Amino acid sequence: MVTSRTIVLLTFLIGLIGIIGGLVVLYRLFWLPVSPVSLVRQVPAEQLPDFNDINGKKGLKKAVSASLEYLEKYEDEEQIPWGNESITAGMLRKTLKAFSGLLDRNLDRDDFQREIRRLFVVYRVIGREKGEVPAGYVLVTGYFQPELAASLKANEEFSYPIYETPQDLIRIALHDFDSALPRKTLYGRVSGQSLVPYYTRAGIDEGKKLGCTGVLAWLRSPLDGLMLHIQGSGTLRFQDETRRYIHYASSNGHPYHSIGRWLIDKGLLDKDQADWQDIRSWAQK
């Protein structure tokens, strides 16, 4: 049974009202460096916001389900940072299930607000601190799973490959060789009797031989490939309307650089105009 002390992380309802799938994004905030001054504060019951502003409860239910699935890899007793405190994964699971059940009840406006006040302790994300004063600035990042048109064969429309993991790609965990070495993984390829860095992205695009590497599918645009690279997974939709899930498998070992940051540094996009739609518009010019 859920008691009035059940901790609920309804921050996404307070600060992210109307964002479908925001709950998973919230979990990403747990692992960000925590300021000495807590950036989350409990909201007094008499100051609770109007939760009936939430749009798309169906989408919110889906987000809760995805979040519960994400938490399956944690044991109940594992601690998850929350401000300057922490809660257990078990308590978070319990809270999510209770909130999902509340959504299922289809309560009217007043009853829904009353149940939030009765069952949950609500927290607000205050934002970045400047000294002791909350600045109210919160940066929320997230990922989504794109669905991309693709083909199993190259043609004039689909000419940008998604490669399998190259057979000549070597992965080396330094710590496996010497416990004094850092827990770092290197990627490379054999050249003669030496291990050398693997091909760069530019080298691959310029036609460097990738061993006997196969191609999983072909995309319509290099921007689709970039989106898949950034998000880490997606769904490929083929011309016969079949779909296949695809996800990150490995790395060439070279550091990732943000294309948005590169465009800003080159003066090609303004700092406040460098979201994905702006990047796509720039690339299509």
Please indicate, yes or no, if residue 177 is contained in any of the structural domains: yes
Stronger pLDDT, 82 or 11, i.e. the higher one: 82
Q: Which of 44-53, 87-96, 123-132, 255-264 has the highest mean pLDDT?
A: 87-96
Please indicate, yes or no, if residue 2 is contained in any of the structural domains: no
- Could you give the C-alpha distances from 112 to 56, 63, 89, 101, in angstroms and in order? 15, 19, 25, 12
User: For 110-138, how does the pLDDT look when each residue is reduced to its tens digit (9 = 90+)?
Assistant: 898 889 889 998 888 776 655 555 566 67
Return the beta strands (E) in 174-248 as ranges. Answer: 185-191, 194-197, 215-219, 233-237, 243-247
Please indicate, yes or no, if residue 110 is contained in any of the structural domains: yes
Last residue in a domain, options 113, 134, 155: 134
Total number of domains constituting the chain: 3
Do 122 and 17 fall within a single domain? yes
The Cα diameter of the chain in Å comes to 74
224 lies in which domain range? Answer: 147-254
Query: Under 8 Å CB-to-CB from 83, ≥6 apart: which residues?
Result: 34, 38, 39, 40, 41, 123
pLDDT at 151 over 90: yes
Do 213 and 276 fall within a single domain? no
pLDDT at 165 over 60: yes
Do 115 and 23 fall within a single domain? yes
User: For 26-42, how does the pLDDT look when each residue is reduced to its tens digit (9 = 90+)?
Assistant: 333 333 444 445 677 88
Do 123 and 209 fall within a single domain? no
Do 283 and 224 fall within a single domain? no
Whether the CB-CB separation of 142 and 22 falls below 8 Å is answered with yes
Burial degree of 90 (CB within 10 A; 0-12, 13-18, 19+):
middle
What average pLDDT score do residues 10-38 get?
Answer: 37
Please indicate, yes or no, if residue 203 is contained in any of the structural domains: yes
Task: Place 148 in a pLDDT band, splitting at 50, 70 and 90.
Answer: very high
Please indicate, yes or no, if residue 86 is contained in any of the structural domains: yes
Last residue in a domain, options 134, 156, 175: 134
